[in-house]
Structure 1
Amino acid sequence: LSGFLLHLVGFCTPYWRSLHFKYTEDVIQDIDIVIQGFDEGIWRRCVNGICSEINVVGRDWLQVVRVFEIVALGSSLFATFLIVIHLVCQKISHTRRVYFVSIVSCFVTAASILLSTIVYGASVREGITWSYGCVVIGGIFYTASGTLMLFTYFLTRPK
């Protein structure tokens, strides 16, 4: 659940990247509009506190990141739902199948997050901040969850 929440926060917030500038007094006097910096997510960019949609023209890598993040969010919702079903309905005979599908969903989520963060990190390279970190940590949690669940699955299988 913590992996889902971290991933959701990182997915929604415009703080994957943050760059802020410092100007000297003489530069400020020569410029009509001073851009103090910007914060950027995968959906929105905020310049001087004013946010707008990101123009993706010429940024194919951002489209790739968005696709992998949407896949990760969908599979994380599915995995979380299946884990809850498994915990609530352990007496049902199909619960091992549900558990196995939730394991696969955890690994799909982790792989999608890994791919999206690699593409974003390779394309941006500087100014990466806390939203990106939330997504990475969420991916680590999904990897750990999938691995632990897989071990449990094989240790508790009928003989």
Structure 2
Amino acid sequence: MTVRLQTEPFDLGAEVARLTDGRSDVGAVVTFMGVCRDRTDSGAELVALTLEHYPGMVEDELSRIEAEARARWSLADALVIHRHGRILAGEPIVLVVTLAPHRAAAFEAAEFLMDYLKTSAPFWKQEETADGRSWVAAKATDDAAADRWKK
């Protein structure tokens, strides 16, 4: 699995093409791309979202999550790209791609990776609106989604 943290936007099609090029061992490719919305949960117009992280700490956690996904599902490969820094509305934030011999493993692993990215990866989000900036609190719905994967 490849994990990348970056400030610049990524190209979904190019990333999938690079990951699948020349492969004949894959029967399923599942992608999830998260995009910066133009509204906050309260309905205010969002100018930008800033994501902060601790270098090294995020990579360690993503590696841990990836190892757990590989232990649970038969994956041929996977890719996680997560941006940090200032992200404008409409720009991509996160990409998860899973490759597996069969679709069930690819779908489940992609969901697992996203659920744990939302709850375990140490990112801090700050919303920027016309009225100023505010930190985004963790959501109980994200915790509930991650809880379904606990053994």
- TM-score, scaled relative to structure 1: 0.27
More strand per residue: 2
More helix per residue: 1
- TM-score, scaled relative to structure 2: 0.28
